[in-house]
Amino acid sequence: MPNAIVDLRSDTVSQPTAEMRARMATAVVGDDVYGEDPTINELEAKTAAIFGKEAGLFVPSGTMGNLLAIMVHCHKRGAEALVGDLSHIFLYEQGGASHLAGVQLATLKNEPDGTFCLTELRRRIRHDDYHEPITSLVVVENTHNICGGKVIPLAFLDELANLLRQPGVGCAPIALHMDGARVFNAAAALGVSVARICRDFDSVSICLSKGLSAPVGSVLVGSQRFISQARRLRKALGGGMRQAGILAAAGLVALEEVVPLLGKDHERTKRIANAIHNLQSPNITVDLDTVQSNILLIEIKQSQLTGSEFAERLAQVEPEELAAGVTAKDGSGIVLKASARDWAFARVVLYHQVDDEQVELAIKKLTYVIGQYDQRWPRS
């Protein structure tokens, strides 16, 4: 009998919905490089309107969207962009800003809530000095992945924008870009529109293929001039996809039908967090106050256990747990997939296809495995 699999490694493993598949099959398409794909044009215009921006650009990935934003905003030689030291752009996009765009990334220490110190930011902005690069861009990630799906406070975003508008800040205008791969999750958590969150940002990259369940793609939004420049550079990066309205059709469904349901993902994430918290384990814990969206960091307090080892155990089914009734309704074992690298935590991420039944299976598995560790290392 095959095991029941609950895959919570990332919301990137989400599957396109039945409505997405139907709309993809009947999508009206054209050559997007000529600007003649009506479905892509609709997606770009709709996304831009939702964010209160002038125009949008459909791109294959969030990594390309972020890179294009850096390339447009940092077009002068010797440009520098300020990013968080735990940001996706800095950690997980292969340093594309440097080796493809020729832009230097300088890091600011991310606080646990995903923000960074604005006093430090002000100090790091370059002066009009021939020895220094030119500060051209500041990037905010929202929600913040490695900080555990943290929602960046509106007050911080407002203060950041006000700081960069002050006369004499920097030797050239400094743009603001949001890596908004999960910004719809931020909006759901705050109960405000994405337009409000991104009001003061010059550009935003939005992922359609994470929690929004589309199979492929992101949309970059900004001014008409910004998007015109980004569209030109997209061609150089190999991002012209011709009859890609088949993919854009799924993105339209994501905006219409999946975005309104993101709050349910947050509720289910909180249920798993509460279940772990209630175990009061000395070895594996969560901080309930920091669970804000669809990402949960499970903290490993036991020095003899790593996040990777914990994740590996969750993905195994031992005979003893079957005998203990740690099974699905049909008696099959439970394989729970979580993410872990060299972190002091394991990460689980919920998305559209993770329903209440799968949440209960995840809780059952976590309860049993954490109990095993607590027997091995009881509270002293």
| φ and ψ of 80, to 5 deg | -130, 140
SS3 sequence of 269-320? HHHHHHHHHHHCCCCEECCHHHCCCCEEEEEECCCCCCHHHHHHHHCCCCHH
Q: Tell me how far CA of residue 201 lies from CA of 51, 69, 143, in angstroms.
A: 10, 11, 15
- CB-count exposure of residue 162 (10 Å: 0-12, 13-18, 19+): exposed
Is the domain spanning 4-12+261-376 CATH 3.40.50.2300? The answer is no
Domain ranges, ordered by start, for the chain: 4-12+261-376, 30-242
Examine residue 269 and say whether the peptide bond preceding it is cis (omega within 30 degrees of 0): no
- Which residues, in sequence order, are bridge partners of residue 350? none
Token couple for 184: 């719809």
Tell me the per-residue pLDDT of 111-165, one tens digit each, with 9 for 90 and over.
999 999 999 999 999 988 889 999 999 999 999 999 999 999 999 999 999 999 9
In words, the CATH class of domain 30-242 is alpha beta
pLDDT of residue 305: 95
Sheet with strand 203-207: strands edge to edge: 55-59, 218-222, 203-207, 175-179, 134-141, 79-84, 104-108
pLDDT less than 50: residues of the chain: none
Q: Phi, psi at residue 212, to the nearest 5°?
A: -85, -5
Tokens of 165: 């508008």
- pLDDT of 176: 98
